[in-house]
Amino acid sequence: MWIFIIILGFIFLGALLYWLLIITEGVYLGRRAVVWMYDLTAHKYDGIKEYDADAEELFVIRPLRYYLHHIPAPYILDVATGTGRLPWFLLQQPTFHGRVVGLDASAKMLSQAAAKLDGFHARAALVQGTAVPLPFPDNTFHAVTCLESLEFFPSDEAALRDMIRVLQPGGLLLVTRRRGWEAKTFFGRYHDTTQFEQLLQEMGCEQVETKAWQVDYDQVFARKPSTA
Ligand SMILES: C[S@@+](CC[C@H](N)C(=O)[O-])C[C@H]1O[C@@H](n2cnc3c(N)ncnc32)[C@H](O)[C@@H]1O
């Protein structure tokens, strides 16, 4: 009998640790735990993700270019830029003439980004900081992006509000909404499509549009009103 209880205890503990550290990546342990885990794994992050250049161009860069086509040199903020995925793929485009600021709380993730973005000089800037508060004035950027990260912030709502604050009136917001069964284990933090779109609308966003993207993520596009 005791052996059965002990085995069950180990199974429960293993499942709890898997959920706390792997599925939810430390978010229930606080921001420092999340960032510490990214610092630990930064050197292998790109190897694990294996981003496909064609897929990035088709599903991330092309939509951004489309939404920003009327701006000759867009100024973009990528929140939780990690190893610089979005700046890297964007700045490689010969038709993109803008500048990108990548912000992240993990120094090790940023040092991977810095190595990749070295050749882009003043067109790529990296800032170590947290998603809330963003260290930028109101109404600064033509677009603010945040890929695969919102669910790991202490408050996704506070982060969204601050992203909207630093957007110029009429500016574009591109964020991702976690989807799939794992997303539903982010207890107290999960939003379905309707809830997420409503959240952005309540924050004043217009033209909120969700597009299915990956198994785990939707892309959500929205505009800050021009009159804001
Ligand atoms: C899954 S990675 C995504 C990186 C990048 N956006 C991408 O798509 O490859 C999540 C990133 O969020 C960063 N992060 C987590 N919590 C943060 C916070 N509170 N403020 C800023 N960055 C944070 C981590 O350091 C990590 O680089």
Name the token pair of 48.
Answer: 């694990």
Single-letter residue type at 133: P
At residue 199, φ and ψ (nearest 5 deg) are -60, -45
d(CA 63, CA 68): 9
CA of 6 to the centre of ligand 1 (A): 37
The domain segmentation of the chain, as residue ranges, is 2-47, 51-223
Judge: domain 51-223, CATH 3.40.50.10070. Answer: no
pLDDT in tens, 175-200: 999 999 999 999 999 999 999 999 99
- 3-class DSSP assignment, residue 102: strand
For range 37-61, the mean pLDDT: 96
Please work out whether the CB of residue 149 comes within 6 Å of at least one atom of ligand 1: yes
- Sequence-distant (6+) residues with CB within 8 A of 98 are 68, 71, 73, 74, 75, 76, 90, 123, 142
pLDDT band, very low/low/confident/very high, at 228 (cuts 50, 70, 90): low
- Mean pLDDT (the chain, rounded): 96
d(CA 175, CA 68): 15
pLDDT band, very low/low/confident/very high, at 126 (cuts 50, 70, 90): very high
Please work out whether the CB of residue 25 comes within 6 Å of at least one atom of ligand 1: no
CB atoms under 10 Å from CB of 6, counted, come to: 10
For range 88-110, the mean pLDDT: 96
pLDDT band, very low/low/confident/very high, at 100 (cuts 50, 70, 90): very high
d(CA 46, CA 84): 10
